Amino acid sequence: MGVLIKFDDFGRTVALSIANIITIDDGRSMLDASRVCVTGANGFIGRALCPYLQNKGYDLIRVVRRVRARHEVGVGAIGPNTVWAPILKECHAVIHLAARVHVMYEKATDPLAAFRIVNTEGTLQLARQAALAGVKRFLFVSSAKVNGEHGFFSTPDEPSPKDAYAISKWEAEQGLHELAAKSGMEVVVLRPPLVYGPDVKANFLRLLDNIEKGIPLPLGKISNQRSLIFLGNLFDAIRTSLAYQAAAGKTYFVSDGEDVSTPDLIRLLASSLGKSARLIPVPVALIKKAGQLLRKNQEVDRLLGSLVINSSAIQHDLGWRPPFTIQEGIQITVDWYKKRQSNA
């Protein structure tokens, strides 16, 4: 059996068995999905996923809301009236990433309605037209938040969404499975936790900034566990879920498989940055009180709480293992951050 040596998208040399690309010898058949439509192709995940899949030999249709590059296809606002049919011709599969994500300062008078328009109704509009176009497989990237904000979840069969974003994702999942039962289109749902990697934004980027600046962080006494997933691991899980026939109709948790506390994450980031982790042991009760005074109860609860998911189902069904350790993922993210800072 031959071996292909490729230089992957994260700067690491990887040996890939031809068996992993063309055929499988253990009885698990693979789906022929050479032409794939990727929505949200210019988002945090999509920007890097597309070249990764292209390097694996997929023919991509990169779908965005507003076209900014020649290889993109625009669909405008995503919702119950979006017209998808022209771009779905001859597509074997759809990877649906486009979504209304968390809004730091919500301006919508009815946030749940705003999330539903894009994440629920927009997703199901795409799925219906995909089924009519003969798309074989629809892979939906959902969220571990469908199971709740806190907890230790062994299977995805414990949905308890708390906020508008998670509710809209859960409703989309249910609608997709109903459509699959009627149409025969295969649906696969992935529920990742917090995703990190090059180009990461929001709280993860702010954490990097604070550590780089040497700002003391009052988080030394937090004792929690959080699942995370590096972009490279998520990409591999997407490709595996897209390929294997056994994934049809399944919902999978995916993570790095190495859960960390908030202080341990800070130590990992600081070590990769060549900085000291300036953790101040402030009592958790004081942090909660500060959150109440600042009206940031939800943000503090997420910071202090545990959210751990178990990826054993996708490992069992598809033989998937995260190709990157959390240490490798953190180092690659920090290398990107350093380059970003030097170019600023």
SS3 labels along 271-287: HHHCCCCCECCCCHHHH
- Contacts by residues 48-51 (CB-CB < 8 Å, ≥ 24 positions apart): 48/9, 48/197, 48/198, 48/199, 48/231, 48/235, 49/95, 49/97, 49/231, 49/235, 49/238, 51/9
Secondary structure (3-state) at 315: helix
DSSP state at residue 215: -
**CA distances (Å), 161 to each of 48, 51, 150, 155, 321, in order?**
28, 32, 10, 15, 27
Identify the CA nearest to 94 among candidates 38, 173, 142, 30: 38
DSSP state at residue 333: H
Helices (H), the chain: 44-55, 111-115, 123-132, 164-183, 202-213, 231-243, 262-273, 284-293, 297-304, 312-318, 326-343
User: Which pLDDT score, from 0 to 100, does residue 14 have?
Assistant: 41
* Cα–chain center distance at 102: 13
How far is residue 324's CA from residue 318's CA, in Å, rounded to a whole number? 17
Radius of gyration of the chain measured on its C-alpha atoms: 20
In a domain, 335, yes or no: no
Q: What pTM was estimated for this model as a whole?
A: 0.90
User: Which pLDDT score, from 0 to 100, does residue 298 have?
Assistant: 80
How far is residue 196's CA from residue 327's CA, in Å, rounded to a whole number? 12
* CATH code for position 64: 3.40.50.720
State residue 156 phi and psi, 5-degree precision: -75, -5
Question: How many C-beta neighbours within 10 Å does residue 293 have?
Answer: 9
User: Which pLDDT score, from 0 to 100, does residue 302 have?
Assistant: 82
Residues 6 or more apart from 336 whose CB is under 8 A from it?
197, 198, 199
* Cα–chain center distance at 156: 15
In a domain, 211, yes or no: no
In a domain, 288, yes or no: no
In a domain, 235, yes or no: yes
Question: How many C-beta neighbours within 10 Å does residue 57 have?
Answer: 9
User: Which pLDDT score, from 0 to 100, does residue 107 have?
Assistant: 72
How far is residue 163's CA from residue 144's CA, in Å, rounded to a whole number? 12
Q: Which domain holds residue 170?
A: 3-199+229-258+307-326
In a domain, 311, yes or no: yes
Check if 244 is active-site.
no
Which of 52, 58, 105, 165 is catalytic? The answer is 165
Average pLDDT by stretches of 10, the chain with 344 residues = 39 37 42 84 96 93 93 94 93 96 71 95 98 97 96 92 95 98 97 97 94 96 97 97 94 97 97 96 93 85 92 96 97 96 86
Cβ–Cβ < 8 Å for 173, 119: no
How far is residue 35's CA from residue 47's CA, in Å, rounded to a whole number? 18
- What is the tally of structural domains in the chain? 1
In a domain, 180, yes or no: yes
